[in-house]
Amino acid sequence: MKSLRNKVIMSAIVLAFALIATIGSTYAWFTVSSSVSATGLTLNVQTQNSLLIKTVTSATEVANDVLDPTEYKTTLTTADFATTFYTGMSGWTLYPVTAATGNVDGTDTVYTGLNADALTFYNPTSDLATAISTTLTTGDVNKATTGSVIELRMWLMAQASNQDVVFTNLSITPNSGNALSAQDEVVNAVCLGVKDVTNSGTRYIFSIDPDYGFAFVNGDLGYEGDATDSILSNTALLADHSLFYGASTVANESTTVIGDATVVASLVADTPTLISIYIYIEGWDAEATNGIVDAAFDLSFGFEIQP
């Protein structure tokens, strides 16, 4: 039974941190216990050349509040995130959610795309056909008890000229503190949604092993008794993933040609640009099972100016 349970030496920015993710015991990914938690966040952020960076200090902060370049740095550490926006960082919780969107056609839930700006939970009463979709709200982000997603926000500012920025060198690796080998699979269920909030850009989705292959089996809550119990048949969802620039070329994941990497933000000189990064467990991922309970993983990524 299968139950559910950054060092870019960016010519721009480096963001590296470790993250503990635990998923509570479940019948399926969307039925979670209250024991889920995400703790132990360590950050190191560096910039080079003409790119400056600073953390967001409050949820209401706008670009006009952060125009002074002396407030920016070339290196950020965990202490820089000890702001109003990040209060309680060590106690945040992380539950499985999904970026898959679609509709119920009377017999099955049909998934037609991905939207990381509309992350949802699915709470079935008897099967997927009667599922109720609940949209993620601010009460689910960076919270200790009700939290489901971690969000990092930071301001980027280019001083030289307009610059296109790409996501780079994504690495998600099992932490040596994992007690069970099955916990290492958590790294394959992690997704990151990256967005240029200032310019209302798309929230691009990145991961190191994108799939939507979670399958119910007889006896699991949500099982319908037919081949459509697995979302894997909708491979078109992978086309909605974005390419990061890295050391290897992997379909729906990465490219070695920086010009082919997805542009996540276009910076205007001397104009602050707000970047938002969602970190979440994709519940429809094949590895989003009970095996990743209490798992720990290291996460690193960065941004780089695209020539």
Question: Any bridge partners for residue 174, and if so which?
Answer: 297
pLDDT of residue 4: 30
Domain range for 79 is 13-305
pLDDT of residue 261: 96
Measured between alpha carbons, how far is 290 from 306 in angstroms, rounded to an integer? Answer: 40
**Has residue 117 been placed in a domain?**
yes
* Six-digit token string for 282: 């994709």
**Has residue 177 been placed in a domain?**
yes
Paired sense of beta strands 96-97 and 273-282, if any: parallel
Whole-model pTM above 0.75?
A: yes
Contact 15, 170 (CB under 8 A): no
**Has residue 7 been placed in a domain?**
no
Measured between alpha carbons, how far is 230 from 240 in angstroms, rounded to an integer? Answer: 18
Identify the residue whose tokens are 């409050």.
Answer: 58
pLDDT by residue for the chain (307 residues), tens digit each? 223 322 222 222 333 333 444 433 333 344 333 333 344 455 555 555 567 888 888 878 899 999 988 888 877 776 777 776 777 666 677 778 889 887 655 555 677 889 999 898 765 554 454 555 678 888 888 887 777 888 888 898 887 778 898 898 888 888 777 788 888 888 898 999 999 999 999 999 999 999 888 776 666 655 555 545 556 556 788 989 999 999 999 999 999 999 999 999 999 988 999 999 998 988 888 888 777 777 777 778 888 888 8
For the chain, first and last CA: distance in Å? 49
**Has residue 44 been placed in a domain?**
yes
Q: Domain count of the chain? A: 1
**Has residue 5 been placed in a domain?**
no
pLDDT of residue 57: 85
**Has residue 196 been placed in a domain?**
yes
Please report how many Cα atoms fall inside a 13 Å half-sphere around the Cα of residue 141, on the Cβ side: 18
Contact 297, 21 (CB under 8 A): yes
The per-residue pLDDT for range 166-179, each reduced to its tens digit, is: 898 888 888 777 78
Contact 270, 192 (CB under 8 A): no
Other CB atoms within 10 A of residue 215 CB: 15
State the DSSP string of 115-135.
-TTS-EEE--SSBGGG--EEE
The per-residue pLDDT for range 62-119, each reduced to its tens digit, is: 999 999 888 888 777 767 777 767 776 666 777 788 898 876 555 556 778 899 998 9
**Has residue 6 been placed in a domain?**
no
Measured between alpha carbons, how far is 105 from 96 in angstroms, rounded to an integer? Answer: 24
